[in-house]
Amino acid sequence: MAKSIVVTGGTKGIGRAIVQKFAKEGFDVFTCARNGSDLQQLKAEFELDFPNQNIYVMTADLSIKENVNEFAQMVKGLVIPDVIINNTGIFLPGAIHSEPDGNFELMMQTNLFSAYYLTRAFISALVERKSGHIFSIGSIAGLTAYANGGSYAISKWAMLGFTKCLRQELKDFNIKVTSVLPGATFTASWEGADIPVERFMKVEDIAESVWSAYNLSPYSVVEEIVIRPQLGDL
């Protein structure tokens, strides 16, 4: 039976790169996104590239708890995954004192609560099986405050704390937990920015880092992956 991976927000950017990397290594994939047409395009391309594997998709807005639970139940109806990638996220720039009302709630619900609820949906089964690897896709913004970070940075600091707590709670059950903290990566969030593409990291580099961390022996875990552009943060 093929191993399986859950990747939230798997149609674009880092999530899509992780889907492709793990698919190349023989994994079946479960993913979700808000845009149904993007999901169907991903599914069609996946089935052409990996005809011997399975991809399961669901249109879901993971800022909504009920959608998180529906997606988790769809996955659990078929498998308990070997790898979970909490990748869903949204970035709305702004300062805490002046950002639009509602930014904080939306980014916390999308960037943090989605990971919290999805992870809780699988933990009991992972503990019973005594295996699994959970990755949280955070950000350098969860380590270093920067101008115009606002509520996005708050959500990513919280994501790092959430992941550290998970690591402590699950280590005795042979479940690995890793925080991934990328700097500026060339994704849709940067579209339209007047910055040379060479200043960004490639999404494929993030996916390769996740794959490498996953492949350590059972005796070791990478707790945090901090990866930045060679020329420094933007």
The SS3 call for residue 126 is: helix
pLDDT band at 190; cut points 50, 70, 90: low
Per-residue model confidence as pLDDT tens digits over 98-128 = 999 999 999 999 999 999 999 999 999 999 9
At 189, the pLDDT band (50, 70, 90 cuts) reads: low
CA distance 169 to 175: 9
Q: Which of 183, 207, 200 is nearest to 17 (CA)?
A: 207
pLDDT band at 41 (very low <50, low <70, confident <90, very high): very high
Q: Name residue 155's amino acid.
A: S
> Within 130-170, where are the H helices?
150-170
pLDDT tens digits, one per residue of 142-173: 999 888 899 999 999 999 999 999 999 999 99
Report the alpha-carbon distance of residue 74 to residue 214 in Å, rounded.
24
What pLDDT sits at residue 233? 86
Please answer whether residues 57 and 40 qualify as being in contact, where contact means their C-beta atoms are separated by less than 8 angstroms.
yes
- Taken in order of first residue, the domains within the chain and their CATH numbers are 4-227 (3.40.50.720)
